[in-house]
Structure 1
Amino acid sequence: MKAIKIIICYIFVTSSVFGQKRQIDTLNAPPAVLPGVFADPHIAALNNKFYIYPTTDGTVGWMSTYFTCWSSPDLVNWKNEGVILDLPKDLSWAKERAWAPAIAEKGGKYYYYYSADVNIGVAVSDKPTGPFKDPLGKPLVAKGSRRGQMIDPMVFVDDDGAAYLYFGQGQCNVVKLNDDMISYDSTKMISFKPDGYNEGSFVFKRNGKYYLMWSEYDTRDPRYSVAYAVADAPMGPFTKATLNPILKGKGVVKGAGHHSVVKVPGKDEWYIVYHRFKIPDGNGYNRETCISPMRFDKEGNILPVDVFERVKPVTIRVKKNKMAMSALNKNDHKTVKNN
């Protein structure tokens, strides 16, 4: 009888990380990294810190009216930096449905892209923590301008400084932004739909390859998951990988999706940030933000993410300029002598 109870209470699956097999308790997931209900997290490494920009969750129909920012020195301990954009106060063209933001940095400015009342907007700040101001007084991409919903923006800045805006539900849209980061040539926008694509596109570059990732199914569906494709150029064409999805729920984890990815500066070390149904009793309107390591095989394929693997503290190492440090040391020495 005792053996039966043990089997009922604990369900184990086998996972392989770097060739080593381990057992996973699928009834006990790591805690969420942000307190409360937050979804659609966009993560970035900026100014020697990590930042998460999420959707504020917890209302039927996703009726949030503001955005917050969270900072961390190590991916484990997170600080609430407060409200960085309040739709009723800061916008003249939208008041609710504050969804799925993203951040990009260029020329010392921070550009915040977001969904508002099913339009895509952009705001600008001198700091990653805001406050952000609307430079246009109107949407960057207005509802109805393309097929599907105008939501889930993401901007990828390439090595040459060129920036590309990805967005859309039902199909993926991409266009190269102008140098000002707040305008584009709509005649050069392309649209396509990878097999299984629904929403939440995200792009990054590794070893010369461009990875387009997206969420499949609906965010209210426990099967919500993340897949990806690869291309040789930021606007494609993209070829969907054979091994998909690379992120999905298992056991107590439901609806794992709408993600973003961050690389630890100076290292080939990657993490994926995503939401899942709140544990316990969560659903598509009550989701929480999580982080898991993300790895690649020798061919550059993304390996399946273990949603039960805990993240250890990660430090961004600051490279010190030797010449500057030498000058600083000389000045310090002179100061000591003068005193």
Structure 2
Amino acid sequence: MKHRLLLLLTVCLFSGIAYCQTDTLHAPPAVLPGFYADPHIAVFGKKFYLYPTTDGIAGWKSPSFTCWSSKDLVKWKYESVILDFPKDLTWAKEKAWAPAIAYKNGKYYYYFAAEGSIGVAVSDNPTGLFKDPLGKALVRKGMFRGQMIDPMVLVDDNGSAYLYFGQGNCNMVKLADDMISFDVKNVITIKPTGYNEGPFVFKRKGKYYLMWSEYDTRDPRYSVCYATSDSALGPFVNAMNNPVLKGMGVVKGAGHHSVVKIPGKDEWYIAYHRFKIPGGNGYHRETCISPMRFDKDGNILPVDVFEELKPVKVRHSD
């Protein structure tokens, strides 16, 4: 027995075999308690914020959104319900899905899916309360092909803001300066190879990264891929090493993500959901965070969903 153990340790030390490095039967814990999915992560001031879909309901029929905050990415504090459909909206009552937040003009703009349309709400604070400035959807159900869900907004270095959204196709458009309107004639629709839903765009070293989820969120193969461009509206070229986030072992259905950069550093983290461990499925998902890294050429390296998340402090804002 001792000889066998010694041989195994020797193999692990000198061969770099994956199973010696990663225990795929014991995943790190979720960062939020209970069922939450589609997390949008952001940093404002010296705090991190998470804006997820409330999960655990068949048909994803949650009627509200919550906000969570953290000083270190590891310990999260429940803030409050920040948008309650029956109380705060006149045009939708349920199916509160896949939110995203952006900051501009001294305001926080909260984009969300509701009953097959996309809305926007505004607040003076990242924890709300958020109010509906339009009294109607920003993107109506049926306005374009596919489902009008999964909004995301990138505010570029020059202050220009871009809206990305859609299931089945990825729609892109520059927002007006008010952040709550756009010219329908300027919408660009694309479908990268494998694209299903959950677009997320960020900018690093002058390059734009368009990421998305493949398959269906109820499918254990749910995963994340990406493409890059020199422009916020493309054209985007698919990466060669897709997918960069996927399940393995007890981790299933890893996808519908968002990305955050630590201010002042080239240090990145990816928030995503997976099937609840144990016994989860597409309606019982939990929120996780993992480090996300790049190679010397700017390619996103495969995310290790088993890597332990260590505390991170925000020293100053960009």
After TM superposition, is the score higher than 0.5? yes
Structure 2 counterpart of 1:89, from 69, 87, 93: 87
Letter in 2 for 1:291: I
What is the aligned partner in structure 2 of residue 135 from structure 1? Answer: 133
> How far apart are the structure 2 equivalents of 1:216 and 1:128?
30
> How far apart are the structure 2 equivalents of 1:74 and 1:37?
21
1:53 aligned counterpart, secondary structure: strand
* Within-5 A mapping of 1:292-303: 292-303=290-301
Structure with max Cα Rg? 1
CA contact under 8 A between 1:41 and 1:54: conserved in structure 2? yes
CA contact under 8 A between 1:211 and 1:229: conserved in structure 2? yes
Residues 117-154 of structure 1: CA deviation (Å, up to 9, x unaligned) = 01000000000000000000000000000000000000
* Within-5 A mapping of 1:40-59: 40-59=38-57
> How far apart are the structure 2 equivalents of 1:200 and 1:118?
14
Letter in 2 for 1:189: V
What is the aligned partner in structure 2 of residue 323 from structure 1? Answer: none
> How far apart are the structure 1 equivalents of 2:132 and 2:144?
22
Letter in 2 for 1:290: C
Q: Which structure would you say has the larger RCO, counting Cα contacts within 8 Å and 6 or more residues apart?
A: 2
What is the aligned partner in structure 1 of residue 204 from structure 2? Answer: 206
| Alpha-carbon distance change, 15 to 78 in structure 1, aligned in 2, over 3 angstroms | farther
> How far apart are the structure 1 equivalents of 2:205 and 2:29?
32
| Alpha-carbon distance change, 67 to 15 in structure 1, aligned in 2, over 3 angstroms | farther
> How far apart are the structure 2 equivalents of 1:100 and 1:277?
16
Structure 2 counterpart of 1:105, from 88, 103, 106: 103
1:25 aligned counterpart, secondary structure: coil
> How far apart are the structure 2 equivalents of 1:79 and 1:176?
34
| Alpha-carbon distance change, 22 to 181 in structure 1, aligned in 2, over 3 angstroms | farther
> How far apart are the structure 2 equivalents of 1:92 and 1:99?
17
What is the aligned partner in structure 2 of residue 330 from structure 1? Answer: none
1:259 aligned counterpart, secondary structure: strand
Shift of 1:48: 1.3
Structure 1 counterpart of 2:148, from 132, 147, 150: 150
Structure 2 counterpart of 1:307, from 297, 305, 308: 305
What is the aligned partner in structure 2 of residue 195 from structure 1? Answer: 193
CA contact under 8 A between 2:264 and 2:316: conserved in structure 1? no
> How far apart are the structure 2 equivalents of 1:318 and 1:115?
32
- The two structures have a TM-score, normalised by structure 1, of 0.88
* Within-5 A mapping of 1:253-268: 253-268=251-266
- The two structures have a TM-score, normalised by structure 2, of 0.94
User: Can you give the 5+ residue segments of structure 2 that lack an aligned partner in the other structure?
Assistant: 2-11
What is the aligned partner in structure 1 of residue 7 from structure 2? Answer: none
What is the aligned partner in structure 2 of residue 159 from structure 1? Answer: 157
* Within-5 A mapping of 1:1-339: 23-318=21-316
Shift of 1:94: 0.1
| Alpha-carbon distance change, 265 to 21 in structure 1, aligned in 2, over 3 angstroms | farther
Q: Alignment RMSD, CA only?
A: 1.7
1:89 aligned counterpart, secondary structure: helix
User: Can you give the 5+ residue segments of structure 1 that lack an aligned partner in the other structure?
Assistant: 2-11, 320-339
Over the matched positions of the two proteins, sequence identity in percent amounts to 74
2:202 aligned counterpart, secondary structure: strand
1:318 aligned counterpart, secondary structure: coil
Aligned structure 1 segments of 4 or more residues deviating by more than 2 angstroms? none
CA contact under 8 A between 1:30 and 1:308: conserved in structure 2? yes
CA contact under 8 A between 2:273 and 2:287: conserved in structure 1? yes
> How far apart are the structure 2 equivalents of 1:205 and 1:179?
20
2:272 aligned counterpart, secondary structure: strand
